[in-house]
């Protein structure tokens, strides 16, 4: 008997998605040079598709035969897993699809938060080996409602200065992950400020939840009826949407000049940034970090210098909380928000956690 795999399934059936645009644009080369040989050696059944455009991965998930595959492996940054989760979310059998198909990311992008957090490495060969030997692990996903849309996020909701460092440096893509550092240094000088209102739901009492659930269907306001939407297969929203008033019992904060508001579901945003050291893959919480803009640059620099190992959260300037839901309402019109590294409009949004909605492979 061969016990080397433990309880992990052998010879997994793997649908591979390669993003040729990820990171410095070497996704395909990395797949062919590193990933494919390991999958072959492990006698996995593999089918590879190179994504042709943004949104392609999501489209493929909407009519994928989920019984034919054990895992969808994304050779990319965090952008493809984001698309995969959201593509699965739009199926009529969303809940079942999300719970039965493991989504894995192998580090080929400029942001590899999922791989670093779950497989514990940013080394491509090691990550591939861990995926081959991987055990099933359920993971929390969060719903983000903004305007008329609802989407899933598995990694982060990033508003303010750090989002700018990423999104405003697209033209520096050739630098790989160093573009974040260039972006940061620019913003340390410019000190962007984000006046906003934030509401946090630290823990949902059953009465709060049931009152929101009742409020939803009877609500006569101009709210969205998600039962008619492409998201009918997802679990209902316990706290309603961003278009409804802040639920009772949430703690409201008015910030005149916030620098960072960052929500995270996994510890690492990349190998070099342990942004959410207390995040757990399936603890039913999303961690929220806030940092004011009006602190001396030297202190800000000190905070940033300690993000690498997560010890920055001990700095007094950092507010770190675990919540089950929150909302962000910007007062200004210009700024950046990214969900799992993907840009969304700079408008109010609300987040709530779905405990164990998704599936992945762990070491």
Kindly state whether residue 23 participates in binding Mg ion, applying the rule CB under 5 A. Answer: no
Distance between CA 70 and CA 232 in Å, rounded?
Answer: 24
Distance between CA 331 and CA 214 in Å, rounded?
Answer: 30
Q: Tell the smallest beta-carbon distance from residue 238 to ligand ADP (Å).
A: 29
Kindly state whether residue 192 participates in binding Mg ion, applying the rule CB under 5 A. Answer: no
Residue of 289, 196, 213, 197 lying closest to 250 (CA atoms): 197
Q: Which three-class secondary structure state does DSSP give residue 101?
A: coil
Q: Tell the smallest beta-carbon distance from residue 6 to ligand ADP (Å).
A: 30
Which one, 111 or 240, has the nearer CB to ligand ADP?
A: 111
Which one, 80 or 291, has the nearer CB to ligand ADP?
A: 80
Distance between CA 316 and CA 109 in Å, rounded?
Answer: 33
Q: Tell the smallest beta-carbon distance from residue 7 to Mg ion (Å).
A: 32
Distance between CA 340 and CA 85 in Å, rounded?
Answer: 11
Residue of 281, 266, 280, 285 lying closest to 324 (CA atoms): 285
Distance between CA 320 and CA 39 in Å, rounded?
Answer: 40
Which one, 80 or 286, has the nearer CB to Mg ion?
A: 80
Kindly state whether residue 27 participates in binding Mg ion, applying the rule CB under 5 A. Answer: no
Query: Binding residues for ligand ADP, per CB under 6 A?
Result: 19-23, 51-54, 56, 76-80, 83, 109-111, 341-342
Total interface residues for Mg ion by CB under 5 A:
5
Q: Tell the smallest beta-carbon distance from residue 307 to Mg ion (Å).
A: 18
Distance between CA 320 and CA 251 in Å, rounded?
Answer: 14
DSSP string of 242-281, one letter each residue? TTSPPPTT-EEEEEEEEEEEEEESSSEEETTEE--TT--T
Which one, 77 or 263, has the nearer CB to Mg ion?
A: 77
Kindly state whether residue 263 participates in binding Mg ion, applying the rule CB under 5 A. Answer: no
Which one, 152 or 313, has the nearer CB to Mg ion?
A: 152
Q: Which residue has the tokens 């719970």?
A: 99
CA 269 to chain centre: 9
Q: Tell the smallest beta-carbon distance from residue 109 to ligand ADP (Å).
A: 3
CB atoms within 10 A of CB 53: 8
Q: Which residue has the tokens 């034919």?
A: 68
Q: Which does 51 bind (CB under 5 to 8 A by kind): Mg ion, ligand ADP, none?
A: ligand ADP
Q: Which does 22 bind (CB under 5 to 8 A by kind): Mg ion, ligand ADP, none?
A: ligand ADP
Kindly state whether residue 107 participates in binding Mg ion, applying the rule CB under 5 A. Answer: no
User: Is residue 70 annotated as part of the catalytic site, yes or no?
Assistant: no
How far CA 152 is from CA of 77, 81, 287, in Å, comes to: 17, 11, 16
Please identify which of the residues 2, 65, 70, 78 carries the catalytic annotation.
Answer: 78
Which residues between 298 and 357 bind Mg ion (CB under 5 A)?
Answer: 341
Which one, 60 or 126, has the nearer CB to ligand ADP?
A: 60
Task: Please give the residue whose beta carbon sits closest to ligand ADP in the complex.
Answer: 77
Q: Tell the smallest beta-carbon distance from residue 111 to ligand ADP (Å).
A: 4
Q: Which does 227 bind (CB under 5 to 8 A by kind): ligand ADP, Mg ion, none?
A: none
Contact between residue 72 and residue 101 where contact means Cβ atoms under 8 Å apart: yes
Q: Which does 241 bind (CB under 5 to 8 A by kind): Mg ion, ligand ADP, none?
A: none
Listed ranges 75-83, 139-147, 178-186, 244-252: which one lies at the site for Mg ion (CB under 5 A): 75-83
Burial class of residue 196 in the structure, from the number of CB atoms within 10 Å of its CB (0-12 exposed, 13-18 middle, 19+ buried): buried
Contact between residue 21 and residue 53 where contact means Cβ atoms under 8 Å apart: no
Active site residues: 78
The footprint of Mg ion (CB under 5 A) covers 77-79, 111, 341
């Amino acid at each position: 008997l061969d016990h080397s795999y433990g309880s992990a399934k052998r010879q997994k059936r793997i649908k591979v998605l390669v993003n040729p645009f990820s990171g410095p644009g070497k996704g395909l080369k990395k797949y062919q040079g590193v990933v494919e040989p390991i999958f072959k050696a492990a006698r996995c059944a593999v089918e590879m598709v190179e994504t042709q455009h943004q949104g392609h991965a999501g489209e493929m998930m909407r009519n994928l035969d989920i019984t034919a595959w054990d895992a969808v492996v994304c050779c990319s940054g965090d952008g493809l897993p984001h698309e995969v989760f959201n593509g699965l979310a739009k199926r009529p059998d969303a809940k079942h699809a999300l719970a039965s198909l493991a989504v894995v990311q192998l580090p080929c992008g400029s942001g590899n938060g999922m791989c670093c957090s779950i497989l514990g490495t940013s080394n491509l060969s090691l990550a591939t080996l861990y995926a081959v030997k991987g055990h099933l692990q359920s993971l929390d996903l969060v719903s983000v409602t903004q305007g008329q849309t609802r989407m899933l996020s598995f990694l982060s909701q990033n508003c303010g200065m750090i989002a700018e460092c990423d999104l405003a440096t697209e033209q520096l893509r050739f630098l790989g992950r160093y573009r974040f550092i260039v972006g940061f240094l620019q913003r340390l000088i410019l000190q962007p400020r984000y006046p906003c209102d934030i509401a946090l739901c630290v823990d949902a009492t059953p009465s709060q939840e049931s009152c929101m659930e009742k409020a939803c269907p009877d609500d006569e306001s101009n709210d969205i009826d998600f039962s008619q939407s492409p998201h009918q297969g997802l679990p209902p929203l316990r706290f309603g949407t961003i278009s409804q008033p802040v639920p009772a019992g949430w703690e409201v904060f008015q910030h005149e000049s916030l620098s960072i508001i960052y929500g995270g579901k996994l510890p690492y945003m990349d190998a070099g940034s342990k942004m959410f050291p207390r995040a757990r893959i399936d603890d039913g919480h999303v961690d929220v970090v806030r940092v004011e803009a009006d602190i001396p640059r030297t202190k800000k620099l000190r905070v940033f210098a300690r993000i690498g190992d997560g010890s920055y959260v001990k700095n007094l300037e950092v507010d770190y909380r675990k919540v089950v839901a929150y909302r962000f309402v910007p007062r200004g019109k210009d700024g950046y928000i990214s969900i799992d590294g993907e840009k969304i409009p700079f408008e109010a949004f609300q987040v709530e956690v779905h405990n164990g909605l998704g599936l992945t492979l762990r070491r």
